[in-house]
Amino acid sequence: MELDRDEMGPVINRIKRAQGQLTAVVRMLEEGHDCEEIVTQLAAASKALDRAGFVIISSGLKQCLTASEGKDTLDVEKMQKLFLSLA
């Protein structure tokens, strides 16, 4: 299953933003910044990645449901495992 490229544009932007936040975290650690600042940046990056993962999975689930209408091919267990992997 391929993901819809149009739907992935915002996801890519979110991941790039998280990448920048992680770069900032590394720099802050190297420079000895305050713990609270570092944790705040790390939490923001983590949340951005979680949201990106949920969008990717929900987009894939939507495609699976659309493609399998009338068929018994949707692997619900596999989809549940993907969602739980982000928990």
Number of domains in the chain: 1
CB half-sphere exposure, 4, CA atoms < 13 A: 13
> What does R_g of the chain's alpha carbons equal in angstroms?
17
pLDDT range class, residue 79, cuts 50, 70, 90? confident
Residue 56 scores a pLDDT above 90 = no
Cα 12–2–65 angle (5° rounding)? 110
Where in the sequence is the domain holding 10, given as residue range(s)? 5-85
**Percentage of the chain with pLDDT > 90?**
46
| CATH number, domain containing residue 27 | 1.20.58.1000
pLDDT range class, residue 86, cuts 50, 70, 90? confident
Residue 18 scores a pLDDT above 80 = yes
- Averaged over 25-50, what is the pLDDT? 94
Is the Cα torsion angle 14, 84, 22, 45 positive or negative in sign? positive
